[in-house]
A and B are shown apart, each in its own frame.
Chain A
Amino acid sequence: MISTLQKTIRPMLAARGLHKSAVEVLKSLTPEDTVTASFGKFISELKPQHLSPVVLHRSKRMVLDSIGVGLIGSTTDVFELALQHCQHMYAPDDISSVYGRTGTRLSPTLAAFVNGVATHSMDFDDTWHPATHPSGAVLPAVLALSDMMPANRKPSGLDFLLAFNIGIEIQGRLMRFSNEAHNIPKRFHPPSVVGTMGSAAACARLLSLDPSQCSHALAIAASLAGAPMANAATQSKPLHIGNASRLGLEAALLASRGLEASPLVLDAVAGVAGFNAFYEDYVPQSLESPSDNGHMFLLEEQDMAFKRFPAHLGMHWVADAAASVHKLLVGVGPGKVSPDQVEDIMLRVPKSKYINRPFPESEHEARHSFQFNACSALLDGEVTVDSFTPAVMSRPDLFALLSRVRLEHPHDNPANFDCMYGEVQVTLVGGDILKGRCDTFYGHWRNPLTNESLRKKFRNNAEAVLPSEKVEMLIDVVEELDKFGDCRDLLSQLQ
């Protein structure tokens, strides 16, 4: 029986016109069994009832945090630059709104772009495990697309959340295809790899594309993915998220017009790289179609980290460790820490070149510097948004402390957000040694921000550009998003 099935499959596969190596991949599967097809099917067929209460709760927190971070991000130079670029290159369009700019609207993909840039502009957005910044790639695209849809056919709040969660889920699934993804990245900046795919998936869902079109959206997006790590810690980094959002939306729009791409983009075909071009090791797995029993979202098993200050996630460990040393110092002597007290500062941190910067010269570099964040927390007791402003960055006291820092990379401290720790050891003039250690900072998925802390962060961020009534309304709207008839209320509050 099986042998006759094989015999009929082979000419059928050949008749589908596939290249020889692709035929090899499909020999043991029917064409619909490919990993790529399973993803397309999942995106198209998932239903709102598959969203569990935990997933709804967690994803609403992500939506709130992402909006807040995007709003404060709209005050940055890089956002201004990106916005002016879009307005200069393209005429005003009255379709999709822009964070923090009442009355400014752009074409959907451009709005997704600038809002994505805003979201990542200060490195203040959420971080997941394996590492990426999932929401900034998805939310701006979903918002922009919702703005694009006709007034009488806007998605319901629940549809909106479903699309958003699909965008997150796809990213999580893709990262689990390789071991490389589990550690602090060295080659491609993860949001530029999986973020684009997540955005494409979310938008494909919102556009109600069929399974085949959803697959093609992913494949088209793959050709738009991938940016090198070297641009992290530069002013260009936020564009990785902006582009992920924009290009994923574009891929979905092109797929909706019938553009087709590789039907095996997620599968591993020897000699012809697809999505695996971005990874050294790659073992793809099909996504099961959701059954009546529901679907176990990765977000249910693995929560999100939210940042308390705008810097690379790794900084939060050393900041918390240094803050505890600050408390000890302040408790002992006068209420201020002075560099004259300090002889030596030793940081025990994971080895990672791009967050090891002894003397950062820009805010972008400072957000990616173990040394800077440790010293700031040592001096001030905490790191905040203001810690990265030019005046605060160039304090002589800070520089003096920075000159006294040494780094150690213990073998038991891997470059992995699930396992790492940060230790700060301060040797005082006089010989006393003060130590602080942080295994899990407050905000990490193991020690999540309370709803109260999350809202406080949101208020601080959103009030940079919106009046407090609107800020409170936004909190309520997001909280009730799955219960509202349509997402118009969310869209209107953002303008």
Chain B
Amino acid sequence: MLRKGITESFGAAIHALNTTQLTDGVITRSKRMMLDTLGVGLLGTRTAVFNKALKYSQMFTSEERSSVWGKADVALPPHYAAFVNGIAVHSMDFDDTWHPATHPSGAVLPALLALVETLPRPPSGLDLLLAFNVGIEVQGRLMRFSTEAYNIPERFHPPSVVGVMGSAAASAKLLGLSPAQCCHALAIAASSAGAPLANAATQTKPLHIGNAARTGLEAAQLALAGLEGNPAILDMHSGFGVYYKDYSPAAMADSASGGFRWILEDQDVAFKRIPAHLGMHWVVDAALAARVKLQNTDGPFDPSLIRSVTLRVPLSKYVNCPLPATEHQARHSFQFNACSALLDNKVTVDSFHHAQISRPALRELLSKVKVETPEENQPSFDKMYCEVEIETHQGQRHAARCDTFYGHWRKPLSQEDLVEKFSVNASSVLCTEGVGGVLYAIGDIERVRESSVLSSYLRMTNRAVLQHGETLSSHRI
């Protein structure tokens, strides 16, 4: 069914939204998202997938070049800078998650920062913040066009569907495209959306975000050059609707009228404490709580005393992996994350190193795990819970349940903890000056005059990186 004017309303809104419409709430939340994304991206530049993509991208030459995060001496054509930086952000599944589910920031920020470095007059920090929020908002709107989007996905990986549209919208905003050009940017981007879920839990998953960033930027630039697509792309079932089984698009409110409200104002994002699929956070918190209960009655934790571990989780096939062999699979395994939490009393970045994954003690514990998927445990990040029940050989049972993990939008990370996460991540590749510089530039972004300064901080690497060049993960993925 053709509903006229939906795409038109998006084009008009992208064009017309201005900095005065940024509320305090939205500014605070989006700055946290930008900071978290940068930290996670910097850490991600140490992964094997990032380095493969970087080597590949270096075969392209260009006159304009944009920074590669965490690299002092490497720059790439802007599209490829967006590509590799986007990959870095999603490389460890450590980036933000929203509801309905997607990873919104990784598709947008790398594209914007790459674009910023090519503009003759660098936009202000506030302009950057506005464009970023436009990119987030468009993603949120598009996901609300279908009920399918509200549950853990089965067909297309959401960032590959809405992420490229967000990147196109944000880039269009920063480029100052006309309303019609903004529509065409969305149309051109739509032809590049949609990657199958089967590549999640593989090394290719981070490319979904990298490609979303790069292709959205390209779509905006092609629109600027005059390329046209279908100006009703969002209105049509044979347009953006092809990615969803049910599709009910709605127009975006006129931003000038009093009726406009950012989705981010009403729906916050979740930040991860663990570099793993969001669902893992519930099972880890539940496992840690069950472990405490066990220790309180039976003394120090001893895995050999355990007969079985039962997990009650929502039904979601792509995060149900009994014996992961790679880090990518481990990040998408209820079983692995529960057992890591039980064994080590924590799950951290290091938990996913190959040596840790293949520990005999861990494999042994994994073999004792049973997974149940109660029907009332809905596969939705807004509604799910996880229960972990430990049974000892003596027949003792200790169970704990997590409804809302710390970091979820219902229980957000404190600013202190968010900054701590960023600092730890960023320090792995940046020197203190760089870390401090990014904290300042984001913290005070409304007053930053030239947003390109951010990229210069992102290149202030520490001595270890300078000495060893690329720090590759040593294990085969």
A183-197 Cβ-contact flags toward B at 8 Å (1 or 0): 000111100100000
| CB-based contact A260/B324 at 8 Å | no
CA distance A254 to B56 in the complex (A): 7
Residue of A nearest to B229 (CB): A236
CB distance from A21 to the nearest CB of B (A): 4
CA distance A107 to B220 in the complex (A): 21
Chain A stretch 176-211: residues in CB contact (< 8 A) with chain B:
186-189, 192
List residues of B (227-242) whose CB comes within 8 Å of A's CBs.
Answer: 227-230, 232-233, 236, 238-242
In whole angstroms, how far apart are the Cα atoms of A250 and B215 in the complex? 14
Q: Is B77 interfacial (CB 8 A cutoff)?
A: yes
Q: Is A230 in contact with B198, judged by CB distance below 8 angstroms? A: no
Closest Cβ–Cβ distance, residue A309 to chain B (whole Å): 23
CB <8 Å contact, B329 and A260:
no
* Complex alpha-carbon distance, A253 and B58, angstroms: 12
Q: Smallest CB–CB gap between B202 and chain A, Å?
A: 5
Give CA–CA (A108, B238) in the complex, Å. 32
Across the two chains, which residue of chain A brings its CB closest to B79? A89
Once the chains are docked, how many angstroms separate the CA of A108 from the CA of B61? 11
Q: Are A81 and B225 in contact (CB under 8 A)?
A: yes
Q: How far apart are the CA atoms of A262 and B200 in the complex, in Å?
A: 8
In angstroms, how far is the closest chain A Cβ from the Cβ of B404? 25
The answer, yes or no, to whether B412 is at the interface (CB within 8 Å) is no
Interface residue ranges of B173-208 to A (CB < 8 Å)? 187-188, 190-204, 207-208
| Residues of the A chain whose Cβ atoms lie less than 8 Å from the Cβ of B61 | 90-93, 107
Which residue of chain A is the closest to B51 with respect to CB atoms? A257
How far is it, in angstroms, between the C-alpha of A425 and the C-alpha of B13 when the chains are bound? 48
User: Within 8 Å of chain B (Cβ to Cβ): is A17?
Assistant: yes
A89 near B77 (CB under 8 angstroms)? yes
* B326 in the interface (beta carbon within 8 A): yes
State how many angstroms separate the Cβ of A82 from the closest Cβ of chain B.
8
CA distance A273 to B236 in the complex (A): 23
A220 contacts B204, CB within 8 Å?
A: yes
* Alpha-carbon separation in the docked complex, A144 to B208 (Å): 25
Check if A89 sits within 8 Å of B52, measured CB to CB. Answer: no
- CB pair B64 A89 closer than 8 Å: yes
For B193, give its contact among A222, A226, A270 (CB under 8 Å): A226
Inter-chain contact A257/B238, CB cutoff 8 Å: no
- A228 and B211: CB pair below 8 A? no
Nearest to B320 among chain A residues (CB) is A20
By a CB distance below 8 angstroms, the chain A residues around B200 are: 272
Tell me whether A30 is interfacial, beta carbon within 8 Å: no
Q: How far is the CA of A270 from the CA of B238 in the complex (A)?
A: 25
CB within 8 A of B56: which of A16, A253, A278?
A253
Verify B154–A271 contact, CB threshold 8 A. yes
B49 CB within 8 Å of chain A: yes
Return A206 CB to nearest CB of chain B, in Å. Answer: 16
The 8 Å CB contact of B199, one of A92, A192, A250, A265, is A265
Q: Chain A's nearest CB lies how many Å from the CB of B218?
A: 8
A16 to B: closest C-beta gap in Å:
6
Question: With the chains together, A17 CA to B192 CA distance in Å?
Answer: 31
- A269 partner residues in chain B, CB cutoff 8 A: 198, 317
Please judge, given known A-B contacts A89-B79, A272-B197, whether A81 and B226 are in contact too, CB under 8 Å: yes
A230–B320 contact, CB under 8 A?
no
Q: Number of A-B pairs whose CB atoms are under 8 Å? A: 224
Kindly identify which residue among B63, B193, B325 contacts A17, using a CB–CB cutoff of 8 Å: B325
**On chain B, which size bracket covers the interface?**
35 or more
Contacting residues, chain A, for B241 (C-beta < 8 A): 228
**Set of chain B residues within 8 Å of A250, measured between Cβ atoms:** 56
Tell me which residues across on chain B come within 8 A of A230, comparing CB atoms. 187, 190, 230, 232-233, 236, 238-240, 242
Main secondary structure of the interface of B (DSSP, over half): loop
Interface residues as binary, A262-293 with B (CB distance below 8 Å gives 1, 0 otherwise): 10110001111111111000000000000000
For A, the interface residue count at a CB cutoff of 8 angstroms equals 69
Do A272 and B318 have beta carbons less than 8 Å apart? yes
Q: Using known A-B contacts A273-B155, A274-B198, determine if residue A17 contacts B204 with beta carbons closer than 8 Å.
A: no
Given A236-B229, A354-B238, A243 and B56 contact (CB-CB distance below 8 Å): no
Task: Give me the interface of B with A, judged by CB distance under 8 Å.
Answer: 49, 52-53, 55-56, 59-64, 77-79, 154-157, 160, 187-188, 190-204, 207-208, 211, 218, 221-222, 225-230, 232-233, 236, 238-243, 316-326, 329, 332, 371, 477
- Residues B198 and A273 in contact, CB atoms below 8 Å apart: yes
B315 to chain A, nearest CB (A): 8
List A contacts of B320 (CB < 8 A). 19-21
Chain A residues near B218 (CB-CB < 8 A): 85, 89
Q: Is B329's CB under 8 angstroms from A222's CB?
A: no
Most B CB atoms within 10 A — which of A91, A270, A277?
Answer: A277
CA distance A103 to B160 in the complex (A): 37
Q: Which residues of the partner chain A approach B193 to less than 8 Å between Cβ atoms?
A: 226-227
Q: Is B318 a contact partner of A19 (Cβ separation < 8 A)?
A: yes
**CA separation between A181 and B150, bound complex, in Å?**
29
A216 nearest in chain B by CB position: B204
A162 contacts B by Cβ under 8 Å: no
A224 touches B60 (CB 8 A): no
Closest approach, in angstroms, between the C-beta of B152 and any C-beta of chain A?
A: 10
Could you write out 24 A-B pairs with CB less than 8 Å apart? A19-B201, A20-B320, A21-B318, A81-B225, A82-B227, A84-B225, A89-B218, A90-B62, A222-B195, A222-B199, A223-B195, A223-B208, A223-B211, A226-B193, A228-B241, A230-B233, A231-B187, A236-B227, A236-B230, A272-B318, A273-B155, A273-B156, A274-B199, A277-B156
A127 to B30, CA, bound (A): 48
Can you add 18 more A-B contacts, CB < 8 Å, to A81-B226, A273-B155? A17-B329, A89-B79, A90-B60, A192-B191, A219-B202, A228-B236, A228-B243, A230-B233, A230-B236, A230-B240, A236-B188, A243-B192, A271-B154, A272-B200, A273-B154, A273-B196, A274-B198, A354-B238
| A330: interface (CB < 8 Å) | no
Is the beta-carbon distance between A243 and B191 smaller than 8 angstroms?
Answer: yes
Residue from B196, B208, B317, B332 within 8 A of A271 (CB atoms): B317
B229 touches A234 (CB 8 A): yes
Give chain A residues whose Cβ lies under 8 Å from the Cβ of B55.
257
Chain A contacts for B194, CB-based, 8 A: 225-226, 277-278
Q: Which 5 A-B pairs have the closest CB atoms?
A: A17-B325, A274-B198, A230-B239, A223-B195, A227-B191
